[in-house]
A and B are shown apart, each in its own frame.
Chain A
Amino acid sequence: MKINQKHQLVRLQLLNNGNFGAAGGRVTLDRPTQTEAYFGLPYIPNSSWRGVWRNWWEVKPNAATTADVIFGTRDDPEKPQRLEPAPGKLIVGNGELLCFPLLSEDGERCWVFPLHHICKYVALEKLCAPTASINLKTVVTAVYAEKKDHRFVLGMPKLPALNTVFTLEQANPAPTEIQALRNLLKRWHADWLSEHETMLVVDDKVAAHLWQCASEVRDLTALETNKTARAQSLRRVETIPAGSIFLSLLTWLGEVDLDFGSQVIQLGSGEGLGNGFCRLAAVETTAVAAAAAPFEEGEQGPRERNDKAMSEMHKAIAAIARGENDKLKQKVRSAIGSFGWRLKQEGWEPALAFALAKAKPSLKATPEKKISDDVEAYRWLLRKLFKIDGALDKYQGELWFTKEIGAGEKSAVMQRWQWLRKFSEVELTPALTEEQ
């Protein structure tokens, strides 16, 4: 990533869950993640990120002195000072939450955008591009509207069913502002989110509540060398879900461009557990990205929009349901559920890798050894999700992992998975026995 202007907006996306240790705590958590004092939303502390970049920079040959100029001289009593004490010329802002993922009651993944942060970064973007101007007056008015026990949320394209302590209603700002807002968000998240997924623009209280629903808590323990649990090592760790996107404002007071490469960096705790890996990129301010596609009239949302996917997935499930192999039905149902869970918890790559490992594309049946129902179920699932006719390619993994799966394809796969999940719940459920 290049830093070539005085102020630059940068976006970061967590590729895995992340934890940024908080000084405060909650009774039910041993290690909550750092949250802001007013809204309780998580953020990425700038010191964490700055330290990682400094470390990365100092690995370069003869870069120690330039690191002092960029990041500031060190106050390390054990090492001689190379320069007069001075602050760094690169000021890294906190990564503040642009959006986080949340599952609706229907199992649909939505992206929650706190409106407060959107308005803040609209203001800060003027530092990067003084002519940048967007008016969100009616959006703010509609979302912050007060009504007893009711909260207004701008669902794009619609408000999904959410389990909240408030009664949520769809906000209705001016259509031109909705389109402007969608264009803005598309430019900020670029293609890191699918346009076809639901986006919710919410006020501070709803954002804080939904964050509590979306944050993931993991129980961890440590093992002794003899593989028994170490005493008092059980701990509860709060993590920010993978996929969450943060924005940060960088200020660079130097005269030459900085290049931090196209690295993926690891921030926060749990590096050994694979936590906190992020990708980052500069937000384009001048060259505006392609505008978000307008909603079609009468459009209700991704699932209703694609009735063809619904029909195809229903036929596929019905074909399995008509079969007599009850074990295969059970395995198919299990594979569908497992794929969705892994996709949500760990992201695309781990979910695909796991499904491929289970499907064993290169394994062939022999007279001595038949293909197990479990393997058949995963092969069937991958064929349906990716619309593959015939058998899986032996090199299917390479086909998927050597090129990036586009946002459109991801969205289509998600859509098929949602229908598969829905129909399998109904049609592949084992019949009740008389005793039951």
Chain B
Amino acid sequence: METIYQVNLMPIEPILFSDNRSARAGEDHLIRDQDPSPHTIYGAIGACLAGAFGAEIDQKKWTAEAKKYLGDFITDIKNGSTERAELMGFFYKNAQDEFWFPRPLHVRLRQRYANQPVVAGKRMRIKPQKPGLAASSLQDFENYLFFERDDDEAELDDYLSANLLQNILCGVDLSNKLLLENERLPLENIYKSETRLGLGMDNDANRPRRGLLFSRPYRRFSSRAHAESGEWRSAGLTAFYKTREPIPPQKIPANQLAFLGGDRGRALIQFVETSQPLQNLRLAVENAAAPSDGFFCYLLTPAVREARWPLIERQQPIAAAIGKEKVISGWDRAASQQPRPIRKLAPAGSTLFFNWPAHLDRVELIRKYWLQPIAADQFRNSGFGRMLIGVWKNED
């Protein structure tokens, strides 16, 4: 019986989420920071669980017990299978253990000057395409997102609270709403960049090697000591992870560290069994479904960009807000000492708008696609393209 765990990852030291440049000190050494790939989170949790079953991330060291709970060890991970463990999504949590979600990209923020209050943008409507507007990037769609002109629009790296996300997913009109301190979180409250110097050493001569001074971009996650409990907590990531079978309680790692990102960065890991991930959020959306005009898919995790738009119930989106694509990659140290392939992603927070299909009940659709991948053949198990469902309604 499949079981879902809410997994909290609290980094205890700066974490290196590096791109596909070589980590070898030298002239070609220019690692850059990138958002963690879903593969990274999936691997961190999977390796921790595999360790509890005496297995290692290696085909030869995979045990029967690990297979029972996590599925087969395979190297071709692009094609998904429900016979293997799955990452069902992840998002940031702050040091107060509150969840923070990527901004749905059809919601714009307004702020003219730093330190001014942040306001949700002006009203958005979905309008039928006019011939003159059908530029190349829009011509796939029947409709487009019409925004009133806004000179104060600001590209803030802010994350939104669960409550605010709920309002957005329920189609509440947020135009000109003043966002409260507990509704938005600047990125720097989750982590800050911390660049560290390094140099290549010639250990035989006990002196630095000439020309090998480099830097590495770490992320230091925010942390605090809680006055209520006296306990230390760190900001980090919360993920939903599905195993093939419920893990025996004595095997669930307690007081454990997981390895996260490059350089074997460590994070405290905690597993809590959950039957219905983000259930309150889903129930609120279900209640808002009846009076709406359509639904939208909100990408909780980035999805691999493909040449065609994804289909939901055989329907193409009628409009979308996907922002600028992101690229991720990595360095394949163990296998080939080469960069991994670069993948272009639709960023987390992207939204794709659809009409309700006639043949499926609205509530049923929301439940069917809640935290499911937008494309089953694009690294389903690693957690790419996991979505939440929202509803939209044009006011006029």
Contact = CB atoms under 8 A, between A and B. Distances in A.
Interface of A: 7, 21-24, 34, 36-38, 45-47, 51, 54-55, 58, 75-77, 84-88, 91, 93-94, 115-116, 119-120, 122-124, 126-127, 130, 135-141, 144, 249, 251
Counting contact residues on chain B (CB < 8 A from A), the size range is 35 or more
B13 A123 contact: no
Interface of B: 12-14, 22-24, 26, 192-198, 201, 203, 206, 215, 220, 222-232, 254-257, 259, 264, 266, 268, 333-334, 337
A37 B230 CA distance: 23
A123 B95 CA distance: 14
A37 B334 contact: no
B197 A115 contact: no
Contact of A251 (B227, B257, B334): B257
Given A119-B231, A135-B230, A47 B198 contact: yes
Contacts of A115: 225
B207 to A, nearest CB: 10
B222 to A, nearest CB: 6
A91 B16 CA distance: 14
19 contacts: A24-B195, A36-B220, A37-B192, A38-B223, A51-B201, A51-B203, A86-B334, A87-B264, A116-B223, A119-B225, A120-B12, A124-B12, A127-B257, A136-B230, A137-B227, A140-B225, A140-B226, A140-B230, A144-B225
A23 B220 contact: no
Nearest to A58: B203
A141 B228 CA distance: 7
A301 to B, nearest CB: 27
B225 A85 contact: no
Contacts of A58: 203
B230 A85 contact: no
Contact of B197 (A21, A51, A135, A137): A21
A83 B228 CA distance: 50
A46 B196 CA distance: 11
Contacts of B195: 23-24
A93 B333 contact: no
B12 A139 contact: no
B375 to A, nearest CB: 32
B327 to A, nearest CB: 24
Nearest to B193: A37
A58 B268 CA distance: 32
Residue of A58, A76, A138 most packed against chain B (CB within 10 A): A76
B337 A85 contact: yes
B13 A93 contact: yes
Nearest to B335: A85
Nearest to A88: B264
